[in-house]
């Protein structure tokens, strides 16, 4: 029972209620008495087509409005949603526009793995399911190659077939009827592309299907999860240019192909494409042997890129498709780090932050700069004097609170090659948080690294920033506890993201200055970190969220919330600046998925978009 007071809840309705019919929802207590606000009448209609010019105009207006009032349905209704919106069982609409020779493409499908003993009925049934899904492919000429014990002989046969592209299929798994046509059409239509991968779903017998909606190309997450491997279609030219004769199993071949395309991606964005459609179905749980082979293959590829890096398996967060792995990069080279902490009064809170940083930060070349935004309390001024005596700098910066200006002033004064933007309500929890973040900052093309931040109750406050919710930006993970896996281990492994919060981030001073730092005029308080990250991404840099740098954050404990008319007006102005400047980019976060709702990120990846946004092949940028 609830105590007396104001309470609310969210109710997910079945997708078939969106038929335009009026329905009434009654909410009662345990005695059958109606609650305040009950009954409630609803009517919702999702059109599938337009029959008149007026309807077409109305549909366009609706699509525009959905940017601001997007709709969604709970992931529990995925199968109904899929039946309503899935197009992977028919040829892509662009198929007939393709040149005839591309329509007649030959695609080799390597069927690999062991679903029981070769003479067992289970093995035979699994094999026939996979072979049937290859035989029934629409559009392309698909040919199955059953992997032999001598794996290189299978590859030799594939190359001799002169297929234009290659895909790998676990024995027992299946493809959507037009999976290869969709993937091939997208791959052939993008000139620099060498490899394309799709989403997948887990379809175990007797259980509801569960989708895996994947990000655009994301190197950190690939090492963590093998996510691009199913379905992964690769041009045969890539296969010819790797040492395929040395491959001993499917995991090695798949990872070598992916690594070759990833190297090309560093030189030409668009070498790797993501097609945000469910084209692949897992019909069984991935075996322990397969997981070990994938980890070893990924490890081998990683060490070619970073010889001292390694992958640490996290079996406690396993799911049916994979066992996640934590990417451990080598310790960064010696550099000076400047931690910048803006503050005003509230000496006790600042002391907790600085004491925790001193206790849990072992980096030898460390500078701490406290930016004083006009403190007046005697206790705070006395504390500043103590800090200065201990070697901590205090930079006076009086005036109206402008978070962007405070950080810009401090970065200009910082002596470090790397600056860390730190809120005064942050508390470090473990001694290697800074080392872990620095290790990722010195990975190729990375400009910014953000931390995993928790509220004091150990719920996730920041798991990276997602673009789009509310046509703005929002933190991922607020519904998760620290030790929850999250969707396909998203809460426990490193990810490239579009932005991170400046409550705790590291950035090279040179990169910060190269894009003009934070925008003091447009984003004095909110979204300055998002804008900074997007500017750096626009310059070709990457942003990484570090899952094993964990700190506490009492969000807005110092400055308070935007709860006055003046603060609300300023917040609305900043939101409008964000939308005006970054526009369509806010609606196409490469980490998020067009099949997931933009209505709210409170429940993360648990709400399906109604209808899904355009699901076109996409790049990492």
CATH at 142: 3.90.550.10
Residue-level pLDDT at 393: 98
Q: Where is the domain boundary, 259, 285, 311?
A: 285
How many angstroms separate the CA atoms of 374 and 367, rounded?
22
**What's the half-sphere exposure (Cβ side, CA atoms, 13 Å) at 180?**
32
In a domain, 319, yes or no: no
Q: What is the pLDDT of residues 86-120, one digit of tens each?
A: 888 888 888 888 888 788 899 999 999 876 566 67
Residue-level pLDDT at 506: 99
What string of DSSP letters covers 171-196? TT-EE-TTHHHHHHHHHHHSTT--EE
Phi/psi at 17 (5° precision):
-70, -15
Residue 485, pLDDT above cutoff 60: yes
How many angstroms separate the CA atoms of 452 and 535, rounded?
22
Q: What is the pLDDT of residues 433-447, one digit of tens each?
A: 999 999 999 999 999
Q: Which of 359, 233, 349, 232 is nearest to 294 (CA)?
A: 232
Predicted confidence band at 422 (pLDDT cuts at 50, 70, 90)?
A: very high
Same domain, residue pair 583 and 478: yes
Exposed/middle/buried for residue 514 (C-beta within 10 Å: 0-12, 13-18, 19+): middle
Q: What is the pLDDT of residues 193-227, one digit of tens each?
A: 999 999 999 999 999 999 999 999 999 999 999 99
Q: Number of structural domains, the chain?
A: 3
In a domain, 300, yes or no: no
How many angstroms separate the CA atoms of 413 and 127, rounded?
66
Give the CA angle between residues 234, 260, 194 to the nearest 5°.
35
Same domain, residue pair 212 and 73: no
Identify the residue whose tokens are 């042997």: 289
How many angstroms separate the CA atoms of 204 and 31, rounded?
40
Token pair of 397, please?
Answer: 């910066």
Contact 504/551 with Cβ under 8 angstroms? Answer: yes
How many angstroms separate the CA atoms of 63 and 399, rounded?
44
Mean pLDDT along residues 411-427: 98
In a domain, 552, yes or no: yes
Question: Facing residues of 23 across strands?
Answer: 42
Predicted confidence band at 148 (pLDDT cuts at 50, 70, 90)?
A: confident
Same domain, residue pair 142 and 226: yes
Domain span at residue 33 reads: 15-85
Mean pLDDT along residues 299-317: 96
Predicted confidence band at 346 (pLDDT cuts at 50, 70, 90)?
A: very high
Residue 23, pLDDT above cutoff 90: no
In a domain, 614, yes or no: no
Q: Where is the domain boundary, 255, 285, 315?
A: 285
Query: How crowded is residue 345: how many other Cβ atoms within 10 Å of its Cβ?
Result: 20
Same domain, residue pair 114 and 254: yes
Distances (CA, A) of 158 to 22, 131, 137: 57, 16, 18
Same domain, residue pair 80 and 101: no
- Secondary structure of 364-377 as H, E, C letters: CCEEEEEEECCCCC
Q: Checking DSSP bridges between strand 465-467 and strand 473-475, what pairing results, if any?
A: antiparallel
Q: What is the pLDDT of residues 25-60, one digit of tens each?
A: 888 877 778 877 777 767 666 555 444 555 556 555
Between 569 and 599, where is the model more confident?
Answer: 569
In a domain, 609, yes or no: no
Residue-level pLDDT at 239: 97
Predicted confidence band at 10 (pLDDT cuts at 50, 70, 90)?
A: low
């Amino acid at each position: 029972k609830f105590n007396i007071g104001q309470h609310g809840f969210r109710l997910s309705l079945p997708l078939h209620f969106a038929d335009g019919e009026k329905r009434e929802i009654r909410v009662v207590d345990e005695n059958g008495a109606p609650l305040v606000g009950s009954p409630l009448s609803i009517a919702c209609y999702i059109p599938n087509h337009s029959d008149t010019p007026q309807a077409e105009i109305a549909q366009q207006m609706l699509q525009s409005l959905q940017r601001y009032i997007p709709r969604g349905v709970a992931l529990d209704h995925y199968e109904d949603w899929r039946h309503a919106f899935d197009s992977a069982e028919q040829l892509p609409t662009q198929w007939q526009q393709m040149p005839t020779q591309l329509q007649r493409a030959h695609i080799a499908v390597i069927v690999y793995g062991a679903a029981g003993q070769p003479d067992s009925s289970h093995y035979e049934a699994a094999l026939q399911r996979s072979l049937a899904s290859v035989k029934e492919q629409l559009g392309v000429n698909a040919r199955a190659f059953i992997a032999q014990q001598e794996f290189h002989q299978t590859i030799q046969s594939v190359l001799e077939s002169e297929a234009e592209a290659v895909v790998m299929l676990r024995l027992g798994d299946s493809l959507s009827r037009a999976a290869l046509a969709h993937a091939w059409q997208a791959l052939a239509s993008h000139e620099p592309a060498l490899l394309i991968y799709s989403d997948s779903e887990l379809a175990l017998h007797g259980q509801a299907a569960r989708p895996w909606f994947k990000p655009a190309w994301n190197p950190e997450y690939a090492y963590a999860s093998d996510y691009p491997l199913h379905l992964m279609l690769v041009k045969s030219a890539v296969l010819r240019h790797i040492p395929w004769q040395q491959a001993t199993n499917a995991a090695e071949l798949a990872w070598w192909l992916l690594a070759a395309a990833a190297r090309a991606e560093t030189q030409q964005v668009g070498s790797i494409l993501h097609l945000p459609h469910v084209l692949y179905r897992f019909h069984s749980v991935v075996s322990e042997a397969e997981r070990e082979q994938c980890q070893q293959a990924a490890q081998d590829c990683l060490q070619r890129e970073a010889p001292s890096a390694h992958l640490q398996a996290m079996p406690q967060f396993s799911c049916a498709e994979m066992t996640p792995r934590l990417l451990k990069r080598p310790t960064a080279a010696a550099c000076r780090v400047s931690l910048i902490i803006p503050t005003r009064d509230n000496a006790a809170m600042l002391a907790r932050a600085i004491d925790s940083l001193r206790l849990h930060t072992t980096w030898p070349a460390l500078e701490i700069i406290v930016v004083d935004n006009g403190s007046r309390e005697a206790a705070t001024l006395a504390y500043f004097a103590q800090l200065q005596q201990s070697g901590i700098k205090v930079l006076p910066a009086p005036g109206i609170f402008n978070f962007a200006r405070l950080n810009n002033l401090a970065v200009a004064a910082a002596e470090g090659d790397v600056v860390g933007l730190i809120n005064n309500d942050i508390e470090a929890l473990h001694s290697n948080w800074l080392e872990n973040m620095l290790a990722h900052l010195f990975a190729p093309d990375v400009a910014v690294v953000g931390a995993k931040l928790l509220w004091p109750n150990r719920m996730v406050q920041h798991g990276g920033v997602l673009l789009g919710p509310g046509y703005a930006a929002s933190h991922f993970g607020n519904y998760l506890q620290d030790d929850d896996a999250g969707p396909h281990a998203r809460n426990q492994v490193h990810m490239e993201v579009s932005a991170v919060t400046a409550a705790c981030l590291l950035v090279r001073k040179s990169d910060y200055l190269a894009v003009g730092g934070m925008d003091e005029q447009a984003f004095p308080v909110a979204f300055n970190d998002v804008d900074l990250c997007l500017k750096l991404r626009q310059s070709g840099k990457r942003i990484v969220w570090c899952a094993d740098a964990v700190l506490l954050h009492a969000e807005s404990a110092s400055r308070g919330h935007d709860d006055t008319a003046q603060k609300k007006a300023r917040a609305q102005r900043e939101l409008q600046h964000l939308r005006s400047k970054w526009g369509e980019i806010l609606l196409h976060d490469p980490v998020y998925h067009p099949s997931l709702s933009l209505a709210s990120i409170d429940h993360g990846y648990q709400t399906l978009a109604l209808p899904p946004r355009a699901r076109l092949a996409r790049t990492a940028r």
